[in-house]
Amino acid sequence: MSIMARTDRSIIGRWWWTVDRWLLASLAVITAVGAVLTLAASPAVAVRIGYDPFYFAHRQFVFLPVAMLLMLAVSMLSLQGIRRLAVVCLAVSIMVMVATIFVGEEIKGATRWIRLGGFSLQPSEFVKPGLVVVAAWMFAERRLDERFPGYALSGGLFALVAGLLIMQPDVGMTIIVSAVWGMQFFLAGLPLILVMAIAMLFIGGGVGAYFTFSHVRDRIDRFLDPSGEDGYQVARSLEAFRNGGLFGRGPGEGQVKSVLPDAHADFILAVAG
């Protein structure tokens, strides 16, 4: 028996019968798993660099409720409200990305972060949802009216975002944004010849990034040969998965978190394994 009647026309009632509850449940599960992994992985890393044992966990749990409330609030918006929010989000994020190139913080050879009001933000994380929604809107309008330049507008926005990402440079984020936008274009009815052209462009871009950016080349080389001296974290992560087996060693029993520098970040799955 449902907790909400279909005749309930309140904001909560309409939200309950229109929201994708399976998607909402999936997000809740992923969030819970991430919180548990953060609690498991962060103490060893924090102590090693001189922070409070639960420094990273505290940061996670400070922002988590805010993010959940924001997600629920956005899910209650009308379609028109979501479109307007996406346009504002995309426009502001692009402006901040431009500012980041000039006044951002350089970390490991890339300028991806900017400090605003005491917080460090990565504006490309906000440009992703904005671009996805606006691009989908443009494609949908193009299907309703063939005279509407939806393909050109969407392509122009994508090119602008991708160009700003390359200037940082953030090749990984560029690949993610390109893959999502390309899939959207394909689902919108992209002609086969353009599918092949975009695929060749992506391949060429990947090869170009390998020979242009040393950090991209180093990461690919470490992935292909983790046994090298620069592949320490990859090698130890793979070792953790082998030792843990299918179900891991059990809660709190893993040892890899004590030796991996990025156990709380890019290699957190090794803690689970």
pLDDT tens digit sequence for 66-96: 888 988 888 888 889 999 999 999 999 999 9
User: How far apart (Å, rounded) are the C-alpha atoms in residues 230 and 209?
Assistant: 19
What is the rounded average pLDDT of the residues 207-212?
Answer: 80
Most confident residue range from 61-65, 158-162, 246-250: 158-162
Structure tokens at 70: 């924001």
Q: Residue 261: its pLDDT value, please?
A: 64
Cα–Cα distances (Å) from 48 to 34, 258, 272, in that order, read: 21, 8, 20
Sheet holding 110-116, edge to edge: 105-107, 110-116, 119-121
Q: What confidence category does residue 137 fall into, taking pLDDT thresholds of 50, 70 and 90?
A: very high
Could you read off the pLDDT of 172-186 as tens digits, one per residue? 888 889 889 988 988
Per-residue pLDDT at 136? 94
Whether 273 contacts 240, CB under 8 Å:
yes
As a whole number, mean pLDDT of residues 141-151 equals 88
- The larger pLDDT score, comparing residue 33 to residue 159, is at 159
Give the model's pLDDT for residue 16.
Answer: 77
Mean pLDDT value of segment 41-60: 79
Q: SS3 of 110, please?
A: strand
Angle between helices 124-144 and 150-167 in degrees, nearest 10: 170
| Burial class of residue 95 in the structure, from the number of CB atoms within 10 Å of its CB (0-12 exposed, 13-18 middle, 19+ buried) | exposed
83-92, 111-120, 200-209, range with greatest mean pLDDT? 83-92
Task: List Cβ<8 Å contacts ≥24 apart for 13-19.
Answer: 15/75, 15/76, 19/75
What pLDDT was estimated at residue 248?
63
Extents of the domains making up the chain: 1-76, 78-224
Q: What pTM, to 2 d.p., does this model score?
A: 0.76
Q: Which two tokens stand for residue 250?
A: 């059990």
Please give the mean pLDDT across all residues of the chain.
81
Name the residue with tokens 């924090």: 46
**In 10 A of CB 199, how many CB atoms?**
11
pLDDT at 129: 92
Q: What integer pLDDT is reported at residue 229 of this predicted model?
A: 60
Give 169's Cβ-side CA count (13 Å radius).
12
The confidence score (pLDDT) of residue 1 equals 47
